[in-house]
Chain A
Amino acid sequence: MPWTREQLAERAARELRDGFYVNLGIGIPTLVANYIPAGMKVLLQSENGMLGMGPFPYEGDEDPDLINAGKQTITELPLSSYFSSADSFGMIRGGHIDLSVLGGMEVSERGDLANWMVPGKVVKGMGGAMDLVAGVPRVIVLMEHVARDGSPKFKASCELPLTGAGVVDMLITDLAVFSRPDRHAAFELVELAPGVSEADVRARSTAQFGSANG
Protein backbone atom coordinates (compact mmCIF):
# COMPACT_ATOMS: atom_id res chain seq x y z
CA MET A 1 0.00 0.00 0.00
CA PRO A 2 1.56 3.32 -1.03
CA TRP A 3 2.40 5.86 1.67
CA THR A 4 0.03 8.80 2.13
CA ARG A 5 1.13 12.44 2.03
CA GLU A 6 1.28 12.45 5.82
CA GLN A 7 3.37 9.28 5.84
CA LEU A 8 5.80 10.82 3.35
CA ALA A 9 6.16 13.80 5.67
CA GLU A 10 6.58 11.50 8.67
CA ARG A 11 9.27 9.51 6.85
CA ALA A 12 11.12 12.70 5.93
CA ALA A 13 10.95 13.85 9.56
CA ARG A 14 13.06 10.81 10.49
CA GLU A 15 15.96 12.52 8.69
CA LEU A 16 15.86 15.44 11.13
CA ARG A 17 18.59 15.66 13.76
CA ASP A 18 18.79 17.62 16.98
CA GLY A 19 19.98 21.17 16.37
CA PHE A 20 19.21 21.18 12.63
CA TYR A 21 18.30 24.37 10.78
CA VAL A 22 15.78 23.26 8.16
CA ASN A 23 13.95 24.82 5.23
CA LEU A 24 10.68 23.16 4.25
CA GLY A 25 9.18 23.76 0.81
CA ILE A 26 5.53 24.41 0.03
CA GLY A 27 3.08 21.47 -0.10
CA ILE A 28 3.89 18.06 1.41
CA PRO A 29 7.27 19.26 2.76
CA THR A 30 5.43 21.78 4.98
CA LEU A 31 3.74 18.82 6.71
CA VAL A 32 7.15 17.63 7.95
CA ALA A 33 6.83 20.26 10.70
CA ASN A 34 4.01 18.20 12.22
CA TYR A 35 6.33 15.24 12.82
CA ILE A 36 9.34 16.81 14.50
CA PRO A 37 10.06 14.33 17.31
CA ALA A 38 9.22 15.55 20.80
CA GLY A 39 12.28 16.88 22.59
CA MET A 40 14.23 17.45 19.39
CA LYS A 41 15.27 21.04 18.70
CA VAL A 42 14.79 21.86 15.03
CA LEU A 43 14.69 25.47 13.81
CA LEU A 44 12.62 26.06 10.69
CA GLN A 45 13.90 28.73 8.32
CA SER A 46 11.50 30.65 6.13
CA GLU A 47 13.29 32.20 3.18
CA ASN A 48 11.28 35.42 3.33
CA GLY A 49 13.35 36.26 6.40
CA MET A 50 12.74 34.26 9.55
CA LEU A 51 14.46 31.61 11.60
CA GLY A 52 12.51 29.69 14.22
CA MET A 53 9.05 29.54 12.64
CA GLY A 54 6.20 28.85 15.04
CA PRO A 55 2.83 27.23 14.34
CA PHE A 56 -0.17 28.89 12.72
CA PRO A 57 -1.69 31.61 14.93
CA TYR A 58 -4.88 31.14 16.90
CA GLU A 59 -7.92 32.60 15.19
CA GLY A 60 -7.89 36.35 15.70
CA ASP A 61 -4.13 36.50 16.31
CA GLU A 62 -3.11 36.65 12.62
CA ASP A 63 -0.46 39.29 11.91
CA PRO A 64 -0.09 40.48 8.30
CA ASP A 65 3.58 41.28 9.04
CA LEU A 66 4.29 37.67 9.98
CA ILE A 67 4.05 35.14 7.15
CA ASN A 68 6.03 32.19 5.84
CA ALA A 69 7.34 31.70 2.31
CA GLY A 70 3.98 30.19 1.34
CA LYS A 71 2.43 33.53 2.37
CA GLN A 72 0.59 31.78 5.23
CA THR A 73 0.17 33.53 8.57
CA ILE A 74 2.46 32.02 11.23
CA THR A 75 3.77 32.87 14.70
CA GLU A 76 7.14 33.52 16.30
CA LEU A 77 8.87 31.60 19.06
CA PRO A 78 11.05 32.95 21.89
CA LEU A 79 14.17 31.97 19.90
CA SER A 80 12.99 33.42 16.56
CA SER A 81 14.91 36.00 14.56
CA TYR A 82 14.05 38.13 11.52
CA PHE A 83 16.35 39.30 8.74
CA SER A 84 16.37 40.60 5.19
CA SER A 85 16.00 38.51 2.04
CA ALA A 86 19.70 39.05 1.31
CA ASP A 87 20.70 37.68 4.73
CA SER A 88 18.19 34.86 4.36
CA PHE A 89 19.71 33.69 1.11
CA GLY A 90 23.15 34.23 2.54
CA MET A 91 22.18 31.53 5.04
CA ILE A 92 20.90 29.32 2.26
CA ARG A 93 23.61 29.87 -0.33
CA GLY A 94 26.35 29.97 2.29
CA GLY A 95 25.60 26.41 3.37
CA HIS A 96 24.36 27.35 6.87
CA ILE A 97 21.02 25.54 6.55
CA ASP A 98 21.44 21.83 7.29
CA LEU A 99 18.54 20.38 5.35
CA SER A 100 16.14 21.38 2.59
CA VAL A 101 12.98 19.36 1.91
CA LEU A 102 11.28 20.11 -1.40
CA GLY A 103 8.60 18.78 -3.69
CA GLY A 104 9.50 17.50 -7.15
CA MET A 105 8.07 17.02 -10.61
CA GLU A 106 10.95 14.84 -11.84
CA VAL A 107 14.15 13.46 -10.33
CA SER A 108 16.83 11.82 -12.45
CA GLU A 109 19.09 8.91 -11.52
CA ARG A 110 21.95 11.44 -11.31
CA GLY A 111 20.03 13.47 -8.75
CA ASP A 112 18.91 16.24 -11.08
CA LEU A 113 15.72 17.91 -9.89
CA ALA A 114 12.99 19.55 -11.97
CA ASN A 115 10.25 21.26 -10.01
CA TRP A 116 9.71 24.79 -11.29
CA MET A 117 8.31 24.87 -14.80
CA VAL A 118 6.49 22.91 -17.45
CA PRO A 119 7.11 24.19 -20.99
CA GLY A 120 3.87 25.28 -22.64
CA LYS A 121 2.25 26.00 -19.31
CA VAL A 122 2.26 29.34 -17.56
CA VAL A 123 5.57 29.84 -15.81
CA LYS A 124 5.25 31.15 -12.29
CA GLY A 125 8.92 31.32 -11.43
CA MET A 126 11.41 29.36 -9.37
CA GLY A 127 11.18 31.38 -6.16
CA GLY A 128 13.95 30.21 -3.85
CA ALA A 129 14.14 26.60 -5.03
CA MET A 130 17.28 26.99 -7.16
CA ASP A 131 19.12 28.69 -4.29
CA LEU A 132 18.08 26.00 -1.84
CA VAL A 133 19.25 23.07 -3.95
CA ALA A 134 22.49 24.84 -4.86
CA GLY A 135 23.37 25.95 -1.34
CA VAL A 136 21.98 23.52 1.20
CA PRO A 137 24.30 20.56 1.81
CA ARG A 138 21.51 17.99 2.18
CA VAL A 139 18.45 17.96 -0.10
CA ILE A 140 15.48 15.61 0.27
CA VAL A 141 12.76 15.49 -2.38
CA LEU A 142 9.22 14.29 -1.60
CA MET A 143 6.98 13.39 -4.53
CA GLU A 144 4.49 10.89 -5.94
CA HIS A 145 6.35 8.09 -7.65
CA VAL A 146 4.40 8.44 -10.90
CA ALA A 147 2.49 11.25 -12.60
CA ARG A 148 -1.32 11.25 -12.80
CA ASP A 149 -1.13 9.47 -16.16
CA GLY A 150 1.05 6.76 -14.57
CA SER A 151 4.30 7.86 -16.23
CA PRO A 152 7.48 7.62 -14.15
CA LYS A 153 8.81 10.69 -12.38
CA PHE A 154 12.05 9.03 -11.20
CA LYS A 155 13.78 8.97 -14.57
CA ALA A 156 16.99 8.21 -16.43
CA SER A 157 17.12 11.94 -17.11
CA CYS A 158 14.75 14.83 -16.51
CA GLU A 159 12.78 16.12 -19.45
CA LEU A 160 11.54 19.24 -17.69
CA PRO A 161 13.85 22.26 -17.21
CA LEU A 162 16.10 21.68 -14.20
CA THR A 163 15.99 23.39 -10.83
CA GLY A 164 19.43 22.00 -10.09
CA ALA A 165 21.85 19.43 -11.53
CA GLY A 166 22.98 16.54 -9.34
CA VAL A 167 21.59 18.09 -6.17
CA VAL A 168 19.26 15.45 -4.66
CA ASP A 169 20.60 13.34 -1.76
CA MET A 170 17.43 11.44 -0.88
CA LEU A 171 14.17 10.79 -2.71
CA ILE A 172 11.07 9.77 -0.79
CA THR A 173 8.09 8.74 -2.92
CA ASP A 174 4.80 7.10 -2.01
CA LEU A 175 6.37 3.76 -3.00
CA ALA A 176 9.95 3.82 -1.76
CA VAL A 177 12.94 5.66 -0.32
CA PHE A 178 16.15 6.15 -2.33
CA SER A 179 19.38 7.42 -0.88
CA ARG A 180 22.99 7.95 -1.84
CA PRO A 181 26.09 8.63 0.25
CA ASP A 182 27.29 11.55 -1.88
CA ARG A 183 26.35 13.47 -5.00
CA HIS A 184 28.59 11.44 -7.29
CA ALA A 185 27.15 8.08 -6.18
CA ALA A 186 24.15 6.24 -7.63
CA PHE A 187 20.90 6.03 -5.71
CA GLU A 188 20.08 2.90 -3.76
CA LEU A 189 16.63 1.67 -2.91
CA VAL A 190 16.69 1.62 0.90
CA GLU A 191 13.03 1.21 1.89
CA LEU A 192 9.74 0.07 0.41
CA ALA A 193 6.20 1.08 1.33
CA PRO A 194 4.21 -1.82 2.83
CA GLY A 195 3.10 -4.30 0.19
CA VAL A 196 5.21 -2.68 -2.54
CA SER A 197 7.90 -4.83 -4.17
CA GLU A 198 11.20 -3.80 -5.68
CA ALA A 199 9.87 -5.08 -9.02
CA ASP A 200 6.86 -2.73 -8.68
CA VAL A 201 9.19 0.19 -8.10
CA ARG A 202 11.47 -0.68 -11.03
CA ALA A 203 8.43 -1.08 -13.29
CA ARG A 204 7.35 2.44 -12.39
CA SER A 205 10.77 4.07 -12.81
CA THR A 206 13.04 4.68 -15.78
CA ALA A 207 15.91 5.58 -13.42
CA GLN A 208 18.60 2.99 -12.73
CA PHE A 209 19.26 2.47 -9.02
CA GLY A 210 20.96 -0.02 -6.78
CA SER A 211 19.33 -2.17 -4.17
CA ALA A 212 20.48 -1.98 -0.58
CA ASN A 213 19.60 -5.65 -0.13
CA GLY A 214 21.19 -6.85 -3.32
Chain B
Amino acid sequence: MATAPHAGNGKVFPSARAALAGIARDGITVMSGGFGLCGIPEHLIAALRDLGVNGLTVISNNAGIDELGLGQLLKTRQIRKMISSYVGENKEFERQYLAGELEIEFNPQGTLAERIRAGGAGIYGFYTRTGAGTQVANGKETRLVDGEPWVLETGLRADLAIIKAWKGDREGNLVYRKTARNFNPVMATAARVTVAEVEQLVEIGELDPDQIHTPGIFVQRIVQGLDYKKPIEQRTVRKRSAHALDA
Protein backbone atom coordinates (compact mmCIF):
# COMPACT_ATOMS: atom_id res chain seq x y z
CA MET B 1 0.00 0.00 0.00
CA ALA B 2 1.54 3.24 -1.07
CA THR B 3 -0.82 5.49 0.87
CA ALA B 4 -2.57 5.81 4.22
CA PRO B 5 -0.76 3.31 6.45
CA HIS B 6 -3.54 3.56 9.03
CA ALA B 7 -7.20 4.23 8.74
CA GLY B 8 -7.54 7.08 11.25
CA ASN B 9 -6.33 10.58 10.92
CA GLY B 10 -3.10 9.80 12.75
CA LYS B 11 -1.22 13.02 13.31
CA VAL B 12 -3.78 15.23 11.63
CA PHE B 13 -6.08 17.30 13.85
CA PRO B 14 -9.14 19.23 12.74
CA SER B 15 -8.28 22.50 14.51
CA ALA B 16 -5.48 24.23 16.38
CA ARG B 17 -7.46 23.94 19.59
CA ALA B 18 -8.01 20.23 19.12
CA ALA B 19 -4.32 19.78 18.33
CA LEU B 20 -3.40 21.23 21.72
CA ALA B 21 -5.89 19.18 23.73
CA GLY B 22 -4.30 17.20 26.51
CA ILE B 23 -0.93 18.94 26.06
CA ALA B 24 -1.54 22.59 26.90
CA ARG B 25 -1.63 22.88 30.68
CA ASP B 26 -0.80 25.53 33.25
CA GLY B 27 2.90 25.93 33.98
CA ILE B 28 4.33 24.13 30.96
CA THR B 29 7.29 25.28 28.88
CA VAL B 30 6.41 26.12 25.29
CA MET B 31 8.73 26.75 22.34
CA SER B 32 7.14 29.03 19.77
CA GLY B 33 8.69 29.38 16.31
CA GLY B 34 9.13 32.52 14.25
CA PHE B 35 11.35 35.56 13.90
CA GLY B 36 9.49 38.76 14.64
CA LEU B 37 6.07 38.04 13.14
CA CYS B 38 7.54 35.99 10.28
CA GLY B 39 6.81 32.28 10.43
CA ILE B 40 4.92 32.39 13.72
CA PRO B 41 2.30 29.71 14.49
CA GLU B 42 -0.50 32.25 14.56
CA HIS B 43 -3.37 29.79 14.94
CA LEU B 44 -1.71 27.76 17.68
CA ILE B 45 -0.87 30.94 19.63
CA ALA B 46 -4.50 32.01 19.35
CA ALA B 47 -5.59 28.55 20.51
CA LEU B 48 -3.31 28.76 23.56
CA ARG B 49 -4.89 32.12 24.30
CA ASP B 50 -8.40 30.71 23.99
CA LEU B 51 -7.58 27.66 26.12
CA GLY B 52 -6.59 30.09 28.88
CA VAL B 53 -3.60 28.12 30.16
CA ASN B 54 -1.52 30.18 32.57
CA GLY B 55 1.95 30.41 34.06
CA LEU B 56 3.66 29.51 30.80
CA THR B 57 7.38 29.67 30.22
CA VAL B 58 7.77 30.61 26.56
CA ILE B 59 10.97 30.10 24.60
CA SER B 60 10.83 32.27 21.50
CA ASN B 61 13.31 34.56 19.79
CA ASN B 62 10.90 37.51 20.12
CA ALA B 63 7.73 38.27 22.05
CA GLY B 64 5.50 39.48 19.24
CA ILE B 65 4.11 42.99 19.22
CA ASP B 66 1.06 44.38 20.98
CA GLU B 67 -2.00 42.40 19.86
CA LEU B 68 -0.03 40.17 17.49
CA GLY B 69 1.90 36.94 17.89
CA LEU B 70 2.90 36.22 21.48
CA GLY B 71 1.73 39.73 22.31
CA GLN B 72 -1.71 38.16 22.62
CA LEU B 73 -0.57 35.82 25.41
CA LEU B 74 1.19 38.68 27.18
CA LYS B 75 -1.92 40.78 27.07
CA THR B 76 -3.89 38.02 28.79
CA ARG B 77 -1.02 37.50 31.29
CA GLN B 78 -0.66 33.85 30.43
CA ILE B 79 3.12 34.05 30.27
CA ARG B 80 5.18 33.90 33.46
CA LYS B 81 8.62 33.83 31.88
CA MET B 82 10.15 34.49 28.46
CA ILE B 83 13.45 33.11 27.17
CA SER B 84 14.27 35.31 24.17
CA SER B 85 17.03 37.20 22.41
CA TYR B 86 15.19 40.42 21.53
CA VAL B 87 11.84 41.80 22.65
CA GLY B 88 12.02 45.36 21.37
CA GLU B 89 8.61 45.99 19.86
CA ASN B 90 6.16 45.28 22.65
CA LYS B 91 4.84 47.95 25.03
CA GLU B 92 2.80 45.52 27.14
CA PHE B 93 5.89 43.37 27.56
CA GLU B 94 7.77 46.42 28.78
CA ARG B 95 5.04 47.33 31.26
CA GLN B 96 4.80 43.83 32.75
CA TYR B 97 8.56 43.51 32.94
CA LEU B 98 9.00 46.85 34.72
CA ALA B 99 6.15 45.95 37.12
CA GLY B 100 7.94 42.69 37.98
CA GLU B 101 5.05 40.60 36.64
CA LEU B 102 7.10 38.91 33.95
CA GLU B 103 10.46 37.19 34.18
CA ILE B 104 12.83 37.43 31.23
CA GLU B 105 15.98 35.51 30.41
CA PHE B 106 17.92 37.00 27.51
CA ASN B 107 20.04 34.64 25.44
CA PRO B 108 22.23 35.69 22.53
CA GLN B 109 20.30 34.63 19.43
CA GLY B 110 22.86 32.08 18.28
CA THR B 111 23.17 30.67 21.79
CA LEU B 112 19.38 30.35 21.93
CA ALA B 113 19.28 28.52 18.58
CA GLU B 114 22.16 26.23 19.54
CA ARG B 115 20.72 25.50 23.01
CA ILE B 116 17.52 24.35 21.31
CA ARG B 117 19.46 22.36 18.71
CA ALA B 118 21.47 20.71 21.49
CA GLY B 119 18.33 19.95 23.49
CA GLY B 120 16.77 18.30 20.47
CA ALA B 121 19.89 16.31 19.63
CA GLY B 122 20.47 14.90 23.11
CA ILE B 123 23.48 17.08 23.83
CA TYR B 124 23.78 18.30 27.42
CA GLY B 125 25.71 21.47 26.66
CA PHE B 126 28.42 23.11 24.60
CA TYR B 127 31.19 25.66 25.00
CA THR B 128 30.91 28.85 22.97
CA ARG B 129 32.84 32.09 22.71
CA THR B 130 29.57 34.01 22.50
CA GLY B 131 29.05 36.03 25.66
CA ALA B 132 32.54 35.44 27.07
CA GLY B 133 33.60 38.46 29.10
CA THR B 134 30.01 39.77 29.27
CA GLN B 135 27.25 39.46 31.85
CA VAL B 136 25.83 36.55 29.83
CA ALA B 137 28.71 34.47 31.20
CA ASN B 138 27.93 35.35 34.83
CA GLY B 139 27.38 32.23 36.90
CA LYS B 140 28.32 29.91 34.03
CA GLU B 141 31.37 27.69 33.78
CA THR B 142 34.03 29.27 31.58
CA ARG B 143 36.86 27.17 30.22
CA LEU B 144 40.11 28.62 28.92
CA VAL B 145 41.34 26.94 25.73
CA ASP B 146 44.64 28.27 24.39
CA GLY B 147 44.08 31.37 26.50
CA GLU B 148 40.63 32.10 25.04
CA PRO B 149 37.52 31.86 27.23
CA TRP B 150 34.63 29.58 26.21
CA VAL B 151 31.31 29.65 28.07
CA LEU B 152 29.29 26.53 28.88
CA GLU B 153 25.69 26.77 27.68
CA THR B 154 23.18 23.97 28.26
CA GLY B 155 20.60 22.40 25.96
CA LEU B 156 16.98 23.51 26.12
CA ARG B 157 13.89 21.31 25.91
CA ALA B 158 10.20 22.06 26.19
CA ASP B 159 6.95 20.27 26.97
CA LEU B 160 5.42 21.62 23.78
CA ALA B 161 6.70 23.21 20.58
CA ILE B 162 4.27 25.12 18.38
CA ILE B 163 5.66 25.73 14.93
CA LYS B 164 4.58 26.94 11.51
CA ALA B 165 5.49 25.48 8.12
CA TRP B 166 4.39 26.19 4.58
CA LYS B 167 3.51 22.66 3.54
CA GLY B 168 3.18 19.50 5.51
CA ASP B 169 1.94 16.01 4.81
CA ARG B 170 -0.09 13.63 6.96
CA GLU B 171 3.10 12.00 8.20
CA GLY B 172 4.31 15.35 9.62
CA ASN B 173 7.02 15.98 7.03
CA LEU B 174 7.41 19.73 6.68
CA VAL B 175 8.64 22.28 4.16
CA TYR B 176 9.15 25.92 5.13
CA ARG B 177 9.09 28.95 2.88
CA LYS B 178 11.86 31.59 2.64
CA THR B 179 12.80 33.30 5.91
CA ALA B 180 9.69 31.95 7.63
CA ARG B 181 11.83 28.90 8.42
CA ASN B 182 14.01 30.55 11.14
CA PHE B 183 13.57 28.83 14.54
CA ASN B 184 10.79 26.46 13.46
CA PRO B 185 12.81 23.40 12.37
CA VAL B 186 15.12 23.45 15.38
CA MET B 187 12.25 23.89 17.84
CA ALA B 188 10.44 20.97 16.21
CA THR B 189 13.23 18.70 17.47
CA ALA B 190 13.35 19.86 21.08
CA ALA B 191 9.92 19.30 22.61
CA ARG B 192 8.12 16.32 24.11
CA VAL B 193 5.25 17.10 21.74
CA THR B 194 5.59 19.22 18.60
CA VAL B 195 2.48 20.60 16.99
CA ALA B 196 2.88 22.03 13.50
CA GLU B 197 0.43 24.25 11.68
CA VAL B 198 0.74 24.44 7.91
CA GLU B 199 -0.71 26.54 5.14
CA GLN B 200 -1.12 23.51 2.92
CA LEU B 201 -1.76 20.02 4.25
CA VAL B 202 -0.97 17.56 1.47
CA GLU B 203 -1.25 13.83 0.96
CA ILE B 204 1.68 11.53 1.57
CA GLY B 205 3.79 11.38 -1.56
CA GLU B 206 3.14 14.94 -2.65
CA LEU B 207 6.30 16.30 -1.01
CA ASP B 208 9.63 15.41 -2.59
CA PRO B 209 11.54 13.46 0.09
CA ASP B 210 14.72 15.24 -0.99
CA GLN B 211 13.19 18.64 -0.25
CA ILE B 212 11.79 17.98 3.22
CA HIS B 213 13.20 20.31 5.89
CA THR B 214 11.71 18.67 8.99
CA PRO B 215 11.24 14.89 8.89
CA GLY B 216 7.93 13.73 10.34
CA ILE B 217 9.57 11.98 13.30
CA PHE B 218 9.84 15.40 14.95
CA VAL B 219 6.16 16.25 14.50
CA GLN B 220 3.50 14.55 16.61
CA ARG B 221 0.50 16.60 15.55
CA ILE B 222 -0.30 18.64 12.48
CA VAL B 223 -3.13 20.99 11.63
CA GLN B 224 -3.97 23.06 8.59
CA GLY B 225 -4.38 26.76 9.33
CA LEU B 226 -6.88 28.83 7.40
CA ASP B 227 -6.92 32.53 6.56
CA TYR B 228 -3.37 33.38 7.54
CA LYS B 229 -2.91 37.03 8.48
CA LYS B 230 0.89 37.04 8.11
CA PRO B 231 1.35 40.62 9.33
CA ILE B 232 4.39 42.58 8.15
CA GLU B 233 6.30 44.44 10.87
CA GLN B 234 8.37 46.81 8.74
CA ARG B 235 7.01 47.32 5.26
CA THR B 236 9.96 48.60 3.25
CA VAL B 237 9.68 49.10 -0.51
CA ARG B 238 11.37 50.85 -3.40
CA LYS B 239 9.69 52.83 -6.15
CA ARG B 240 9.51 51.19 -9.53
CA SER B 241 11.86 53.84 -10.88
CA ALA B 242 14.54 53.32 -8.25
CA HIS B 243 17.58 51.24 -9.07
CA ALA B 244 19.39 51.14 -5.73
CA LEU B 245 18.52 49.85 -2.29
CA ASP B 246 16.69 52.78 -0.71
CA ALA B 247 17.10 52.79 3.05
Instruction: Name the residue in A31, A61, A126, A164 with the highest tally of chain B Cβ atoms < 10 Å from its Cβ.
Output: A126
Size category, B interface: 35 or more
Are A30 and B247 in contact, CB atoms less than 8 angstroms apart?
yes
Main secondary structure of the interface of A (DSSP, over half): loop
A55 surroundings in chain B (CB, below 8 A): 238, 244-246
Query: Is A196 an interface position by the 8 A CB rule?
Result: no
Given contacts A56-B245, A93-B128, contact A85 B108 (CB under 8 A): no
Given contacts A65-B38, A67-B233, A128-B109, contact A46 B117 (CB under 8 A): no
- Find B35's partner among A30, A48, A58 (CB 8 Å cutoff): A48
B170-183 vs A, CB cutoff 8 Å, 1 = contact: the mask equals: 00000011111111
Are B39 and A65 in contact, CB atoms less than 8 angstroms apart?
yes
Size category, A interface: 35 or more
Give complex CA distance A90, B180 in Å. 18
Within 8 A of B (CB), among A70-92: 70-74, 76, 82-86, 88-90, 92
B83-111 vs A, CB cutoff 8 Å, 1 = contact: the mask equals: 01111100000100110000010101111
Query: Is A131 an interface position by the 8 A CB rule?
Result: yes
* Residue of A whose beta carbon sits closest to that of B84: A125
Given contacts A31-B247, A47-B109, contact A65 B129 (CB under 8 A): no
Query: Is A171 an interface position by the 8 A CB rule?
Result: no
Are A92 and B84 in contact, CB atoms less than 8 angstroms apart?
no
* Residue of A whose beta carbon sits closest to that of B176: A82
B140 surroundings in chain A (CB, below 8 A): none
Query: Is A59 an interface position by the 8 A CB rule?
Result: yes
Query: Is A49 an interface position by the 8 A CB rule?
Result: yes
Query: Is A25 an interface position by the 8 A CB rule?
Result: no
- Find B88's partner among A56, A65, A93, A124 (CB 8 Å cutoff): A124
Are A161 and B245 in contact, CB atoms less than 8 angstroms apart?
no
Give the distance to chain A from B18, nearest Cβ to Cβ, in Å: 26
B86 surroundings in chain A (CB, below 8 A): 124-127
B85 surroundings in chain A (CB, below 8 A): 125-128
Instruction: Name the residue in B88, B111, B178, B179 with the highest tally of chain A Cβ atoms < 10 Å from its Cβ.
Output: B179
* Residue of A whose beta carbon sits closest to that of B108: A130
Give the distance to chain B from A117, nearest Cβ to Cβ, in Å: 9
Query: Is A63 an interface position by the 8 A CB rule?
Result: yes
Are A135 and B110 in contact, CB atoms less than 8 angstroms apart?
yes
Are B237 and A73 in contact, CB atoms less than 8 angstroms apart?
yes
B238 surroundings in chain A (CB, below 8 A): 55-59
Query: Is B37 an interface position by the 8 A CB rule?
Result: yes
Are A161 and B35 in contact, CB atoms less than 8 angstroms apart?
no
Are B133 and A166 in contact, CB atoms less than 8 angstroms apart?
yes
Are A34 and B244 in contact, CB atoms less than 8 angstroms apart?
yes
Are A89 and B182 in contact, CB atoms less than 8 angstroms apart?
no
A119-161 vs B, CB cutoff 8 Å, 1 = contact: the mask equals: 0001111111111001100000000000000000000000001
Query: Is B211 an interface position by the 8 A CB rule?
Result: no
B116-144 vs A, CB cutoff 8 Å, 1 = contact: the mask equals: 11000000000011111111100000000
Query: Is B205 an interface position by the 8 A CB rule?
Result: no
Give complex CA distance A64, B36 in Å. 11
Are A84 and B35 in contact, CB atoms less than 8 angstroms apart?
no
Give the distance to chain A from B215, nearest Cβ to Cβ, in Å: 14
A86 surroundings in chain B (CB, below 8 A): 113-114, 116-117, 185-186
Query: Is B6 an interface position by the 8 A CB rule?
Result: no
Are A165 and B134 in contact, CB atoms less than 8 angstroms apart?
yes
* Chain A interface residues (CB < 8 Å from chain B): 30-31, 33-34, 46-50, 55-74, 76, 82-86, 88-90, 92-93, 112, 122-131, 134-135, 161-166
* Chain B interface residues (CB < 8 Å from chain A): 35-39, 61, 84-88, 94, 97-98, 104, 106, 108-114, 116-117, 128-136, 166, 176-186, 213, 230-240, 244-247
13 A-B contacts (beta carbon < 8 Å): A34-B247, A49-B179, A65-B178, A65-B230, A66-B179, A67-B38, A70-B234, A82-B181, A86-B114, A93-B114, A125-B84, A125-B87, A131-B108
Known: A48-B38, A70-B234, A131-B110. 6 other contacts (CB 8 A): A46-B179, A57-B236, A61-B237, A67-B35, A90-B114, A126-B108
